Amino acid sequence: MHKSINNLISVKKELEIKSQNHSAEIIAVSKTFPIDKILPLIEYGHEHFGENKVQEAITKWTDLKLKHKKIKLHLIGKLQSNKVKHAVKIFDYIHSLDNIKLASKIEVEQKKINKNVKLFIQINIGNEDQKNGLRPEELKNFYSQCVNEFNLNIIGLMCIPPLTGNMKDYFIKMLNLKNSLGLKDLSMGMSNDYIEAANCGANFLRIGSKIFGERN
């Protein structure tokens, strides 16, 4: 069996043993990895994959998605407004909605092709200047505008917490924010902290190196 499949099985087993949240979706973060590294997982039946860049996703996934209809592709990196048109076409989920200009553009491009992308609002949960995302206090008004003005399909919240500090505290804050809006989904947790994230309610885990190995 291919190494990436064994790694995926190990991650699932670890979640079963160490987390109460057994139904969390694992997004295999395939950014920078070539198709030959990804194909074994597709053939194994894994459906959720994550990319950081729109252009890379188009190059790698256009044909694969035509051939494998069940694949769900997630944009987990920053989305530039000039790439929205292409992103809406190729991605099923976008995890990085964090400003009104983007929300407006997504609405326009979705209408053109009659598609309803599943969207996560990105939260800057550590209030870090160098990171994208809304401050928690901005969320309520932004969410309301996205839903009522732009009719967007907001399914949940996403964060990339600071590397320092107590991860659990950040994850619990995210859970409380999600619950305050009555949303269903929470995208958080990566290769180094996915068990903690799952235990705090994350149901989309973005796992790359733990599945595919270290990037070059």
Percentage with pLDDT > 90 across the chain: 91
User: Alpha-carbon Rg of the chain, whole angstroms?
Assistant: 17
45 and 62 Cβ atoms separated by less than 8 Å: no
For 41, residues 6+ apart whose C-beta sits below 8 A from its C-beta are: 2, 4, 5, 8, 28, 49, 211
Mean pLDDT of the chain: 96
pLDDT in tens, 188-216: 999 999 999 999 999 999 999 999 998 77
The arithmetic mean of pLDDT across residues 115-142, rounded, is: 95
pLDDT range class, residue 22, cuts 50, 70, 90? confident
Confidence at residue 38, expressed as pLDDT on a 0 to 100 scale: 96
pLDDT in tens, 54-88: 999 999 999 999 999 999 999 999 999 999 999 99
Q: What pTM, to 2 d.p., does this model score?
A: 0.97
195 and 171 Cβ atoms separated by less than 8 Å: no
pLDDT above 80: residue 49? yes
**98-108 in b/e burial notation, b at 16+ Cβ within 10 A?**
bbeebbbbbbe
pLDDT in tens, 147-196: 999 999 999 999 999 988 899 999 999 999 999 999 999 999 999 999 99
Complete domains list, the chain, with CATH? 3-212 (3.20.20.10)
Confidence at residue 1, expressed as pLDDT on a 0 to 100 scale: 84
The arithmetic mean of pLDDT across residues 18-42, rounded, is: 93
